Amino acid sequence: MKLEDPISIELYSHTKALSVALGYRDHLTRLHSERVLGLSEESGVCVGLSNNDLGILKIAASLHDIGKIGIPDHILLNTSKLDKDEWDKIKQHSEFGERILAATEIEGSKQASLVIRHHHEHYNGMGYPDRQSGENISICSRIISIADSYDAMAETRSYHHSRTHSEIMAILHKETGEKHDPELMSIFCKIIESSKFKATKIH
Ligand SMILES: [Fe+2]
């Protein structure tokens, strides 16, 4: 992040500290968050977001899963399939994340915290926690959602193995219009081809 961005240096400092804290709790989630930040920024620049929105996008992308520090270890670090109750607990992370960032009360934190709250909303209104749909979901949350989905499928998680770039794109296309914003998805298709965060798995 660059200091000349219009977001306060204080908010960037807090963001950095929270990212370090997340890394101590769950190193893989911090690495994932850094890649989601990179992909989101590339999409945000390509969309032509204002400098202020780009600043909010970067803060929210790097902290989108900060709420996972509030999820118990036996669920967060579970390597087997999660049951419904455990999934319901995991889903609370978007609201926990909103509260954590909003608690800094720094200028810009309220806006960024709402973006975090809505990073699991779906374009068709079937996401969580507020079941918002379409453009009622902030553009920053919609951008992060695509980047998050892409990177989550590129890495091995407790409930699935990593996928190739082609496999991921096929799934994202299938989900477009339901989970993902079609216009932002077409932007993502452009940026991912030359992105350093493109999935490296060959087959
Ligand atoms: Fe998340």
| Residue range 56-112, pLDDT digits in tens | 999 999 999 999 999 999 998 888 888 999 999 999 999 999 999 999 999 899 999
Ligand 1 center–CA 65 separation, angstroms? 5
Q: How many CA atoms lie within 13 A of 155 on its CB side?
A: 16
How much is the pLDDT for 12? 85
For residues 115 and 181, give the distance between their C-alpha atoms in angstroms, rounded to a whole number.
Answer: 15
How much is the pLDDT for 159? 61
Ligand 1 center–CA 6 separation, angstroms? 26
Q: Which residues place a Cβ less than 5 A from the ion ligand 1? A: 65
User: CB neighbours of 37 closer than 8 A, spacing ≥ 6?
Assistant: 58, 61, 62
How much is the pLDDT for 155? 85
Q: 82 burial class (0-12, 13-18, 19+ CB within 10 angstroms)?
A: middle
How much is the pLDDT for 5? 55
> Is residue 9 pLDDT above 80, yes or no?
yes
Residue in 66, 67, 40, 68 with CA at minimum distance from that of residue 55? 40
**Residue 81, helix vs strand vs coil:** coil
Is 68 annotated in the active site?
Answer: yes
Contact 117, 94 (CB under 8 A): yes
Amino acid, single-letter form, for residue 125: G
How much is the pLDDT for 151? 96
pLDDT, mean of residues 28-39: 96
How much is the pLDDT for 81? 83
How much is the pLDDT for 82? 87
Ligand 1 center–CA 130 separation, angstroms? 14
Structural domains of the chain ordered from first start: 9-193 (1.10.3210.10)
CB pairs under 8 A, 24+ apart, for 74-81? Answer: 76/25, 76/26, 77/26, 78/158, 79/158, 80/158, 81/158, 81/159
- Catalytic option among 16, 58, 68, 179: 68
Ligand 1 center–CA 67 separation, angstroms? 8
For residues 191 and 6, give the distance between their C-alpha atoms in angstroms, rounded to a whole number.
Answer: 24
Q: What is the pTM of this model?
A: 0.93
Pick the residue with more confidence: 7 or 73? 73
**Residue 8, helix vs strand vs coil:** coil
Ligand 1 center–CA 119 separation, angstroms? 7
Q: What is the mean pLDDT of the chain?
A: 92
Ligand 1 center–CA 33 separation, angstroms? 9
**Residue 187, helix vs strand vs coil:** helix
